[in-house]
Amino acid sequence: MATRKKLSLGKTVFKIFCWFYAAISVYPVIWLLFYSFKNNSEIFVTNPFGFPTILHVENYVKAWSQYDVPMYFLNSIIVSVVTVILTITFALLFSYATARMRFKGRYLITIFLSLGMFIPVQAILIPVAKTVNGLGLDSTRWGLILVYTAINLSFATLVYYGALKALPVELEEAACIDGANIVTCFLKIIVPLVTPATATLVIYIFLSAWNEFILANVLVVKDELKTLPLGILFLQGAFTTDWGAMGATMVIASLPTILLYIIFSKKVEGAMTIGGAVKG
């Protein structure tokens, strides 16, 4: 009986601990949402912790109309979407060739591309900036997009290679006998069959491109090409005193990824962790 009581006490403490950390994990985010609707006096003095007493929607209006947030938002969308499209296309084409086609050197190029797994982006920061500059891409969005594509390729080709190896060859054989050429076969049969892998990759690549900071910080030189992570940093420097509108800016920047997560939570967790699992 005594041990039972001890056990249930332990269980209660354990439960409280789980919920306590959950609060530490999520409350800062909620606090951000709260203060994005408050004015300075409420943030600092009257009501620092709780739900805003008056919803200062004008913080959002201000962030959107005065702080160039739409421009950063658009840049982030363009960069992330184009990165996703390019990476997916290049990776699937490449993996199809290495998984199915017969040619000399296919092992060599597969290994070559998978080298990217062992190279942290931090390490290539300096030469990549020089390369982008040398190619004359430093005042376009292409510099950032091509570098993001390149660093995601190793992982994406690996995922597609696995997915393709798991597919039976018979469907393609049938198409071949029916007289389809390799391009038709690729578009009509392969692309639809690898949809689950594509979904995982779209989520993973989109999230990493949307949130990426280190490369963007050295590759984007023009103010009007800045993505949201850079924009937020710039605005923070310029408008340090306006906490409410800064909060609104950060909420706007986080909204797409948070919504994506809330709607597809299990898919997002799966996509993010498969990324880490393969990279590790």
Q: Which of residues 16-75 bind other proteins (CB under 8 A)?
A: 17-19, 21-26, 28-29, 31-32, 35, 43-44, 48-49
**CB-based contact 209:79 (threshold 8 Å):** yes
Helix, strand, coil percentages (3-state) for the chain, rounded to 5, are 80, 0, 20
Binding-site string for other proteins from residue 93 to residue 132, where x marks contact by CB under 8 A and - marks none: xx-xxx-xxxx-----x--xx-xx-xxx-xxxxxxxxxx-
**Site pattern 236..275 for other proteins (x: CB under 8 A):** x------x--x---x--xx--xx-xxx--x--xxx-xx--
What span, in angstroms and rounded, lies between the C-alpha atoms of 79 and 212?
A: 11
Task: Report the nearest approach of other proteins to the CB of residue 100 (Å).
Answer: 6
Of 26 and 61, which CB lies nearer to other proteins in the complex structure?
26
Q: How far is the CB of 115 from other proteins (least distance, A)?
A: 7
In angstroms, the Cα distances linking 87 to 80, 129, 160, 257 are 11, 20, 11, 19
Kindly determine how many residues on this chain lie close enough to bind other proteins according to the rule CB under 8 A: 99
- Minimum Å gap between C-beta 166 and other proteins is 17
Q: What is the DSSP string of 12-41?
A: HHHHHHHHHHHHHHHHHHHHHHHHTTS-HH
What is the per-residue binding string for other proteins in 184-223, x denoting contact by CB under 8 A? -x---------------------x--xx-xx--xx-----
CA dihedral defined by 139, 141, 147, 153, rounded to 10 degrees? -160
CA distance 176 to 170: 10
Least distance from other proteins to the Cβ atom of residue 276, Å: 6
Residue with smaller CB distance to other proteins, 224 or 269: 269
| Among 39, 75, 80, 149, contact with other proteins (rule: CB under 8 A) | 149
CA 253 to chain centre: 13
How many CB atoms are located within 10 Å of the residue 236 CB?
Answer: 13
